[in-house]
Structure 1
Amino acid sequence: MRYVSVTQDEYGNNLDPTAYVKRLPTIAQSLPAGARAFATDPDHYDFFSRRCVKDLLLDRVEFTDNGGEVDLLLGFRHNCWKHEEDLTIRYQGIRSFTLDLPENEPNWRLLREVVLDEILPAPGGCTHEIDCLAGTVLIACRDLEASWAEADCPDRNRSTT
């Protein structure tokens, strides 16, 4: 990622989206409408928000031929201790899709939880890089649309007494 910082040390992951968040007001003007709405959502990089992408788990990948243009749907499952909703991102006009996993294992289910992401302008649209605990996903597309839907989370309502 260009602006979002994700580093590791002996204590774990160090996550810092500050440089991206500061740069976002100038970058946002160049993003397609859907990508702009998702990237600039005030909850997106707020680690205490229920709509922060951190700790979501990729659990659905679907490619669709849309009249000669390839679309992609990524479904992210909630973490019951943090989120109340699942996230679905629909990418229109896929230009590239890159999956980077250790040892080039082609199974996207091995990515594990989302650490952070970054959306940047690109010719004809945008790129969306998603850094996970065990790899990254990089998508170049015309635009994207993100939507949240209530999740079934039985642990959330469990009594601790």
Structure 2
Amino acid sequence: MEYVNLDAQVGDLSGVLDASRYLKQLPSICRDLPPGARSFVTDTDHYDFRSRRCVKDLMLRAIRGAGGEEMEVEFQHNCWKHDQDLLIRYAGVSSFIIDPVDEDRGTDLGAVILDEILPCRDGCSHEIACWDGTLTIVCRDLQAIWTETVCSNKP
């Protein structure tokens, strides 16, 4: 990640998630993002850890169309925090990299820590950091769709 810090230091506490540098850069880079990516990343709930639409703690459920020009990445809610699942549709995919911490994990990357979307020549890059690896997609644009779900083990 270029701006999001996944290991910030706050006083004596290390390992703090800090998106503040990215959020400060966002106004200057968002005009260079494609419309769908811009809408998704500038949603005020996106980096609000208390929000039901924050990507933190979502679980990667499925990747469809890997290696093709059109891809879908589906994330499952965390019943303690979310009441919706997230589906991201990527159009004009020019690069797809999945980097698991352990090669035996495949696409099982664990819960989402945070993500970062940056403009690039091909449209945008979307890097999604999870506890057990990283998913990076470069595409022309993306569409994020939140869908209602039912939590069976909600407190």
Fold in common (TM above 0.5): yes
Aligned length: 153
Counterpart in the other structure of 2:118? 120
Percent identical pairs in the alignment equals 48
TM-score by length of 1: 0.89
**How many angstroms does 1:124 deviate by?**
2.3
Alpha carbons of 1:77 and 1:103: their partners in 2 closer, same or farther (altered >3 Å)? closer
SS at match of 1:108: coil
Q: Distance in 1 between matches of 2:8 and 2:23?
A: 21
Contact in 1 for aligned 2:66/2:96 (Cα 8 Å): no
Q: Distance in 1 between matches of 2:32 and 2:3?
A: 16
Any gaps of 5 or more consecutive residues in structure 1?
A: none
SS at match of 1:48: coil
Contact in 1 for aligned 2:74/2:87 (Cα 8 Å): yes
What is the correspondence of 1:119-138 to structure 2 with a 5 Å cutoff? 119-138=117-136
Q: Distance in 2 between matches of 1:114 and 1:108?
A: 13
**How many angstroms does 1:7 deviate by?**
1.5
What is the correspondence of 1:22-37 to structure 2 with a 5 Å cutoff? 22-37=24-39
Q: Distance in 2 between matches of 1:84 and 1:146?
A: 15
**How many angstroms does 1:152 deviate by?**
1.7
Structure 1 residue ranges, 4+ long, deviating more than 6 angstroms after superposition? none
Deviations 1:111-156 (A, max 9, x none): 0000000000000200000000011001000000001000120122
Deviations 1:8-56 (A, max 9, x none): 89x7741000000111011100000000000100000000000000000
TM-score by length of 2: 0.92
- Equivalent AA in structure 2 for residue 62 of structure 1: R
Which has the higher Rg, Structure 1 or Structure 2?
Answer: 1
More deviation, 82-91/100-109: 100-109
Contact in 1 for aligned 2:3/2:22 (Cα 8 Å): yes
**How many angstroms does 1:78 deviate by?**
0.2
